[in-house]
Amino acid sequence: MASETAMAAENYEAVIGLEVHAHLATQSKLFCGCANSFGAGPNENVCPVCMAMPGVLPVLNRDAVELAIRMGLAAHCAIARESIFARKSYFYPDLPKGYQISMYERPLCVGGYVEIEANGERRRIRLVRIHMEEDAGKNIHEDGTSLVDFNRSGVPLVEIVSEPDIRSAAEAAAYLRELRALLRYTGASEARMEEGNLRCDVNVSVRPRGVEQFGTKTEIKNLNSIRFVEKAIAHEVARQIDILEAGGRIMQETHLWDPVREETRPMRSKEFANDYRYFPEPDLPPLRVTPEWIESIRVALPELPAARRERYVNALGLSRYEAAILTEEREVGDYFESVAAGLRNAKTAANWVMTEVLRVVNETGKPLAHAVPSARETGALLAMVEDGAISLNAAKTAFMAMCQSGKPAATIVRELGLAQVSDEAAIAEACDQIIETHLRKVGEYRAGRDKLFGFFVGAVMKAMGGRANPRLVNEILKRKLDQ
Amino acid sequence: MIVEPCSLTIAEARELLDRRELSAVELTRSCLDRIAAHDGRLNAFITVCREAALAQAAEADARMVGGAGGPLCGIPLALKDIFLTRGVRTTCASRILDGFVPPFDATVVAKLRAAGAVFLSKANLDEFAMGSSTENSAFGPTRNPYDLDRVAGGSSGGSAAAVAANQCLGALGTDTGGSIREPASFCGVVGIKPTYSRVSRYGVIAYASSLDQVGPFARTVRDCAVLLQAIAGVDPRDATCAARPVPDYAGALTGEIKGLRIGVPREYFIEGMAPAVDGAVRAALRQFEALGGRLEEVSLPHTEYAVATYYVLATAEASANLARYDGIRYGLRVAADNNIELYERTRGAGFGAEVKRRIMLGTFALSAGYYDAYYLKAQKVRTLIRRDFARAFERCDVIATPVAPTTAFAIGEKIADPLQMYLSDIFTISVNLAGLPGISVPCGYDDRGLPIGLQLIGAPFAEETILRAADAYERSGATVRRPPII
Ligand SMILES: [Zn+2]
């Protein structure tokens, strides 16, 4: 049975498109001066404009436009010289005006693509558009009453709409990770899914392999973690294949993801059958963007993940895998580069950041800057390893101590006495002592039992408290035993 | 005969105030007395702010003693109840805003307040400014001061009637399809609708955002110019508000119109127009010639589509603008078991028949499958109408037309026939669609003694030109103003 399903799945191809909503990281909301911040008390970040009092008017936040353009440029979009906000009408208690101001027919960013790597393959996922819109408030149901918190009302969003170029759950996850990286690199969004900064609607259909025509799609709404996106897609693709294999037809439906039961359920048609009655927002003039402004934003963009990955591979000699890990977060890449700058081999820094640094970041849950020592101190520590002043193991011990105490690398190494003994006379003396106390084994070694060499090294290291420079121990022992 | 202070023009009151022959408190009290005596019959006001007005007047007097008073310091005004006034209930003549007290002033109100003006009252209007007679008010119709059985016009009927009846020296209204000019015409006062974007709309309850514009009423053109000066100009809270500097409007009133080219559009002199209106407007045109103006026949060929275009666009915008009245955050709420029921009951009870009619019209025009045929088509016609005017203004400096095809009609006469009512705005609507400035200035009376208005339309931001022409006409004495019957 299982193999039958697997066989059936082999014969189909999934066609997936994503609509991603990301909160823009502005100081204030999209159309009023209220703070755009997470975690305030209910209805603390509100004013007549975002509460839709009679007579109020929206005034566009220029910073939000700039952030949206940054994201558009990062995703290779064409930036429209003139775009238009529209009103999208529907009634809901958390939507104070009874319409959402959103771009519709003429969005700010058109086309473009995002490059992903999944299953060892690099692909371009094309974008349809990126447009700006405002968020709604939040309904809270408590003890039989409904309350509305309007703090989120009017918070700026970009909606990033992909073409149906994604072919698997893994690609969808890679695409989302790349979008998240772009949003963070450009500073457009903090893109924190757990705070609702990043939300995702997924369109899924399947078709027999080799067929051009798209199947009927279903939409899964409001996914708020990459893991859920992967699971929801896998579940939906399997469900659709099962239906088609059983001779059934896919209904064009909207599903909601249930994160507890880890499955999708169809929404009642009433929940989504809306005629939004879009028309151009008469309270806002067309948004005009000059080429000079676009250019000034373009030149101020930081190096983006894809370019960084290429540089890490081609100039620093890292593997694609290492480059991918190190570039997912801008701070991680920045940190890695600062550490590597003082070292002879970038690989040393790469290994260290990927193992030690990211482990500490994950374990503490703190942002990188607060979790680990400064890149300068970590670099100083690894330079000692490269110079043979300390062993790799000693460096790990020192690093943890640095994380705890915040003291400089040199201080920690001295305080913990981790410095390697590279004094040749001292090592030679220890070697002589070991040779004298194990004369019988020396004889056996000299008679041809080469394997015993390791035993002598271990004994010398032990005698020196593990701090002897292993390279020198090897050299000196060899010389003495081979005499 | 002793002139009651309330019947002074703003210019006359200004002189007396500046010479300390009259105090702002005396002037305000005179208006309040007049309101107390007559507003029971006239119903120009929804709310009278007696105590607050007297306090503002006392403050204005103190300011003038300090020599700090500007042109409007101590001048008692009425505000259409569509302007948000901090701490004073604002109804828009609707039950749906029951209990709503704004936490802030509309920009124009804040400007007038800063200028030391005194706010007497909130004036009656058609609910949400939807109407041409001020009969669509939850607070009852406003009556015409020249005939109490007739309408004052609308939607700013309360403001126009109050100025005509000497209950205030000036007033603010709004004009979306003629809502300043038509009541000014019906009540025999001056009213100007500025160029779209000339005056901030912030804090003005929206009816149709791309058409709404704020403007003043007064008893003379000069007073209107002074009021317009005080409210015009850029507002960072209104993204559609023009940044261009505000000229000196009163300074433009030179009385000199020699060589002014006055366009007369043939489409505006139609069958069915009241003969008295036709006669009065033609007489006014001859007066302009006598003053040195030159008449030019012009054509505005898309005029016949204006009313239909307006009722698609205005109602479409209104259907969205009025969606916020949902019973959730302020105003009326009728209890219900769920959201949908709450909306239905609240809006069902809160909105009057005309408002509901326009919301439904607009909702329909924007619906999937109808958008192209209605909304989009209407936008295209709007462009054609705008072009008509641009072409006409290549040949003239102002365009002169009647304001309305008739004088004030009887209360109840058209209320059951919305289409007839909509045609009251046939000469004013195109001006809003084209975003142009237009002024209504009295140009005569019919055989019942009802006032007739002349409309002068200008090119974009040519307020100075139409004010100058209207003032020259007014000062020529061609029309002798008659007092109202109350
Ligand atoms: Zn706000």
User: In chain B, what are the domain boundaries?
Assistant: 5-255+438-444, 304-377
Mean pLDDT score of chain B: 96
Which of A58, A98, A285 lies closest to B324 in CB terms? A98
- Whether the predicted pLDDT of A7 surpasses 80: no
B380 and chain A: CB distance < 8 Å anywhere? no
- Whether the predicted pLDDT of A271 surpasses 60: no
Burial of A460 (0-12, 13-18, 19+ CB in 10 A): buried
pLDDT computed for residue B168 by the predictor: 98
Q: Residue B475 and residue B255: Cα distance in Å, rounded?
A: 7
For B299-338, the pLDDT digits (tens) are 999 999 999 999 999 999 999 999 999 999 999 999 999 8
The interface predicted TM-score (ipTM) is 0.97
Going by pLDDT thresholds of 50, 70 and 90, the confidence category of residue A422 is confident
Give the global pTM: 0.91
Distance from CA of B333 to the nearest CA of A (A): 13
Q: Residue B361 and residue B357: Cα distance in Å, rounded?
A: 6
pLDDT computed for residue A222 by the predictor: 83
Distance from CA of B363 to the nearest CA of A (A): 8
The rounded Å distance from CA A31 to ligand 1 centre is 7
A89 and chain B: CB distance < 8 Å anywhere? yes
Interface of B with A in 189-208 (CB under 8 A): 201-206, 208
Residue B133 annotated as catalytic? no
Residue B122 annotated as catalytic? no
Place of tokens 């058609």: B126
Residues B54-77, mean pLDDT to the nearest whole number: 94
Contact A54 B84 (CB under 8 A): yes
Q: Which residue of A has its CA nearest to B208?
A: A282
- Whether the predicted pLDDT of B122 surpasses 90: yes
- What are the sequence ranges of the domains in chain A? 2-293, 303-415, 424-481
Residues A439-454, mean pLDDT to the nearest whole number: 89
**Using an 8 Å Cβ cutoff, are B195 and B215 in contact?**
no
Residues B39-58, mean pLDDT to the nearest whole number: 98
Q: Strand B398-402 relative to strand B261-265: parallel, antiparallel, unpaired?
A: parallel
Going by pLDDT thresholds of 50, 70 and 90, the confidence category of residue A272 is low
pLDDT computed for residue B358 by the predictor: 98
Q: Which residue of B has its CA nearest to A149?
A: B329
- Token pair of A110 as six digits: 């058109």
Going by pLDDT thresholds of 50, 70 and 90, the confidence category of residue A387 is confident
pLDDT computed for residue B18 by the predictor: 95
Place of tokens 């007679």: B133
For B386-409, the pLDDT digits (tens) are 999 999 999 999 999 999 999 999
Identify which has the larger pLDDT, B190 or A441: B190
Dihedral sign for Cα B437, A284, A57, B365, please.
positive
Q: Which residue of B has its CA nearest to A32?
A: B237
- Whether the predicted pLDDT of B290 surpasses 70: yes
Q: For A196-205, B28-37, B434-443, which range has the lowest pLDDT when averaged over its residues?
A: A196-205
A379 and chain B: CB distance < 8 Å anywhere? no
Q: Residue B342 and residue B481: Cα distance in Å, rounded?
A: 52
Residues A30-48, mean pLDDT to the nearest whole number: 95
**Using an 8 Å Cβ cutoff, are A438 and A457 in contact?**
no
Q: Which of the residues B108, B213, B329 would you substitute to probe the A interface, choosing the one with the greatest number of A C-beta atoms within 10 Å?
A: B329
Share of residues in chain A with pLDDT > 70 (%)? 97
Going by pLDDT thresholds of 50, 70 and 90, the confidence category of residue A4 is low
Going by pLDDT thresholds of 50, 70 and 90, the confidence category of residue A1 is very low
* CATH architecture of residue range(s) A424-481: Orthogonal Bundle (1.10)
What would the DSSP string read from start to end of B87-126? TB---TT-GGGTT---SS--HHHHHHHHTT-EEEEEE--S
Report which of A68, A178, A74 is spatially closest to residue A132, judged by C-alpha positions: A68
CATH class of B5-255+438-444: alpha beta
Most confidently predicted of A255-269, A437-451, B423-437: B423-437
| Strand ranges, E, within A58-194 | 78-79, 82-83, 85-89, 99-103, 109-110, 113-118, 121-134, 138-142, 145-149, 156-162
Interface of B with A in 37-96 (CB under 8 A): 83-84, 90, 92
B94, B155, B159, B200: the catalytic one is: B155
Q: Count of A–B CB contacts within 8 Å?
A: 103
Residue B80 annotated as catalytic? yes
Q: Which residue of A has its CA nearest to B108?
A: A55
Q: For A21-25, A96-100, A227-231, A424-428, which range has the lowest pLDDT when averaged over its residues?
A: A424-428
Distance from CA of A285 to the nearest CA of B (A): 6
B30, B80, B319, B440: the catalytic one is: B80
Give SS3 for A44: coil
A43 and chain B: CB distance < 8 Å anywhere? no
- Token pair of A47 as six digits: 């004013």
Going by pLDDT thresholds of 50, 70 and 90, the confidence category of residue A270 is low
Give SS3 for A221: strand
Which of A55, A96, A98 lies closest to B205 in CB terms? A55
For A105-132, the pLDDT digits (tens) are 999 999 999 999 888 788 999 999 999 9
pLDDT computed for residue B2 by the predictor: 67
**Using an 8 Å Cβ cutoff, are B413 and B431 in contact?**
no
B30, B133, B156, B179: the catalytic one is: B179
Place of tokens 């709007």: B382
Contacts 24+ apart (CB under 8 A), A387-395: A388/A420, A388/A422, A388/A469, A388/A471, A389/A413, A389/A419, A389/A420, A389/A422, A390/A418, A390/A419, A390/A420, A391/A418, A391/A420, A391/A466, A391/A467, A391/A470, A394/A418, A394/A420, A394/A467
- Whether the predicted pLDDT of A5 surpasses 70: no
pLDDT computed for residue B370 by the predictor: 95
Q: Which of the residues A279, A281, A284, A287 would you substitute to probe the B interface, choosing the one with the greatest number of B C-beta atoms within 10 Å?
A: A279
pLDDT computed for residue A213 by the predictor: 92
Q: Residue B295 and residue B293: Cα distance in Å, rounded?
A: 7
Going by pLDDT thresholds of 50, 70 and 90, the confidence category of residue A269 is low
